[in-house]
Chain A
């Protein structure tokens, strides 16, 4: 026995080691495959935090357009587990094409308000952002409505990105939901007549162009202000961010237009459990804090804090229109953009 004991110990040690290796293998084998239209720079901090917390590896691919085509073509063999989009319309499009599956999770249901998820858990919003007004900081302006964008007094003074960009088609769709297509067309023609330059570039360009004297006001997303002013984008961008002031515009008698980033579990997800876990993580207090602090977005989770730079804009009063209602007018919005030659 005396002789054997160390041997036994040795053997048990080996077993333990083997078990550990096996467990490690199992953990390593845990993966989740993410297809995203969200820019990698905005999602990477969350992926890193998730992998650190859970040990689950996230393989991701950024596909700006064609996410639906790609997943549909891949069919039952698709490795996609989570489909994430930057825009509500894109997310609904995935659901309507039958590329997603419902997820019922109490964690998700408790964290995400009912109007920010699919009725059967086909999709979940993860973060919110507002479509706000950037204005020259020397401008005497303290409130603004989206309707005023068409006011001729802004002729040659407005900068905005392409009308066909989902951020803008969503805003135009919201206008249609409020006023109908005919009035929206007049409104769009009015904005078009007010443009200071071609409708192109990104949202940050609006701030830079205001600083550069090209325009006085422009429409852009809320979180870019945080990315610029915080210095996360480098010293140059701090100047752009400081050249503007931010006003939360509203529809007349309504609220501010918001859009979401959101995600669904793919219909043929090979790692469904890990996929659900990933979504649950993204709405956890920890992840929602990252959304607020690293991305400067509004968290979806009730009670999660907003970053001070964003909070300084004042209280956000979200427009009462439901996202589903807005999504119905997305194609009509896109057609109006063509019709009035907005991007021409």
Chain B
């Protein structure tokens, strides 16, 4: 029996029962006929409504793979009409148990900023500032900075986020640079320095390889950019030697607060998505840094910065003048605000500042 016949059969049957009941109770034939019509119509009507519900636009049934695991506490998802058809909105995946509220809290987390005052005496202030990416803690920052105020050597490295162990590799590079910098004029000095750095990286590696991805990650290694500077010479003929590899930048600001030189880039348009990088594994091959020697004078300020903040500084040269008037924590407020409105990309931000006396 098809569906239509079944419906009318049921309706007719019900109507006949009602009619027989009416006749048995002695209400007469005419009301009995009316009862047949009304009951039949009601039955068909109810059936019709039920049918219409089943015929409501539905998307293709989803057998098998539908939600095998009970969905954790997502509020009843709205059903939104799109293009005249309803799309049922099933489950919304919570990201690591964090709600948007907890992410906003991370924004305000004081642990996303780290200021280090290395020395502060007269004009010779030396400090560094690191800010983790929006939504991340300072421990997750993949920039690294190291300053030796006694020997006037400093370095900033920026680990490439999509590589494995990038934060640690950045730390190894700045530590190795500051402890025993490669010599610009000595042939092979950089290559052996790089070999030492790579050995330091592999030596300190954790034996606990928690999964296949860590093994694979270690096999692929890490990448980073590096900028380092060392100041040498007597007070009246001092020079700064700057080494650049990739798009972390160095700035020399004069005593008049004017930007005198920026390395390796001079313009914000030079930043691209594929800077030169130093790989952590021997298989990543050799790289050639650029070396520049700059005469410096008391009152000058040397600034090293990772790429996002460098790009911002070069976008308007008055910025570097302005930030050098501020304290590190005031600068943190400025750059976080600039990042929040999109003037600085959401990246780790690091500044190392050395005022020369």
Instruction: Say if A and B assemble together.
Output: no
Give B residues with C-beta under 8 Å from A. Answer: none
